[in-house]
Amino acid sequence: MGGTESKEPAKPRTGPNVYLNVYTNGDGKSPNVPGFGIYHSGMQIFNTEYTFAGGDFDGCGIQEQTPKATPSGSQWIYSQTIDLGPSDLSEAEVRSVLANIRSDFPARKYDLLGRNCNHFTEILATRLNVNKSYPSWVNRAAKWGGSFKGGGVDPVALEKRRIEDQKYKAAAAEKEKSLLKQKQSTLKAEPPMEADGVVEVQINCPNGTKTKRRFLNTDTIQDVMNFAISFDLTIEAAKFWLRINMPRTIFDKPKQTLKEAGFTQRENLFIEKKR
């Protein structure tokens, strides 16, 4: 039996409610039965409906309109509203999503099968992390058509993959932060600037960061090495020495005090991998 994986508690859903407004074609040729028709949709938030349409012009294709109103110049007729529930984002975060999504939907990129109004509303629902699942039947015709046409990747699937990758990277960064914090908690206390025998050390880490800390000249090379590995997990504890470049000197005696090693008031150190 495998172990159970702990999950973070769900965020409270105190954000605005999100509604999906669905339209049928007014030409009478599309059946008004979920899953067996061609539909247009818009997302209603803050008493405004957002939808996506194409056009032969530069700029964003996302349009704002009165909820449940027939889009200008179209044959679409309002059919029903689906309550997707509240977002777990704050009102400010929701407005940020609405602002940022505009650059992802230029009018010229509209494609009936590959990037239409329903792709837009499903991606928007995904970014808003709504409480209920987006109804798959709304865009089923386009997805079926796209699969028969071949050669394209569902933008909704790409969006969900992007969000999962984002969550994975955030979790990995949080884990690294926790490990570093744990290592840093074992370090000796940093002496004040006015203490006798203070040495200010800068470590140039392999991950590209630079970090500074004060030591006493009675501290050891090992103390400085412990400091280095507490700020960059790519530094392997038993596989490196410290060095200065001018003159090039490698400090390979961890028990030496900084005074014995010839450290001055300030030292600029680099990581030297053991060979």
Q: What does 138-197 look like in DSSP terms, one character per residue?
A: GGHHHHHHHHHH-S---HHHHHHHHHHHHHHHHHHHHHHHHHHHHHHTTSPPPPPTTSTT
Residues 27 and 117 in one domain: yes
Of 88, 119, 152, the residue that ends a domain is: 152
57 shares its domain with 127: yes
Cα 83 from Cα 265, distance rounded (Å): 66
Which class for 234: exposed (0-12), middle (13-18), buried (19 or more C-beta within 10 A)? exposed
Return the closest-CA partner of residue 55 out of 114, 105, 115, 107. Answer: 107
CATH of the domain at 47: 3.90.1720.30
Has residue 263 been placed in a domain?
Answer: yes
The confidence score (pLDDT) of residue 238 equals: 87
Domain that holds residue 266: 198-273
pLDDT digits (tens, 9 = 90+) for 38-96: 899 999 999 999 999 998 999 999 999 999 998 777 789 999 999 999 999 999 999 99
- Does residue 41 belong to any structural domain of this protein? yes
Q: Is the distance from CB of 65 to CB of 42 less than 8 angstroms?
A: yes
State the pLDDT at residue 244.
94
Is residue 139 within 8 Å of 116, Cβ to Cβ? yes
Q: Identify whether 58 is part of a domain.
A: yes
Within this chain, do residues 215 and 130 fall inside the same structural domain, yes or no? no
Residue at 188 is within a domain: no
Instruction: Based on the fold, state whether residues 36 and 144 are members of the same structural domain.
Output: yes
The total of structural domains in the chain comes to: 2
Alpha-carbon span 68 to 20, nearest angstrom: 10
Cα angle 156-162-168, degrees, rounded to a multiple of 5: 140
Domain endpoint, select from 121, 152, 183 = 152
> Is residue 6 in a domain?
no
How far is residue 228's CA from residue 235's CA, in Å, rounded to a whole number? Answer: 8
Residue 191 lies in a domain: no
CATH code of the domain containing 234: 3.10.20.90
pLDDT digits (tens, 9 = 90+) for 176-215: 889 889 988 999 999 999 999 999 999 998 878 899 999 9
> Does residue 44 form part of some domain?
yes
Amino acid at 111: D
Last residue of a domain, one of 152, 168, 188: 152
In this prediction, residue 117 has a pLDDT band, given cuts at 50, 70 and 90, of: very high
148 lies in the same domain as 25: yes
- 184 within a domain of the structure (yes/no): no
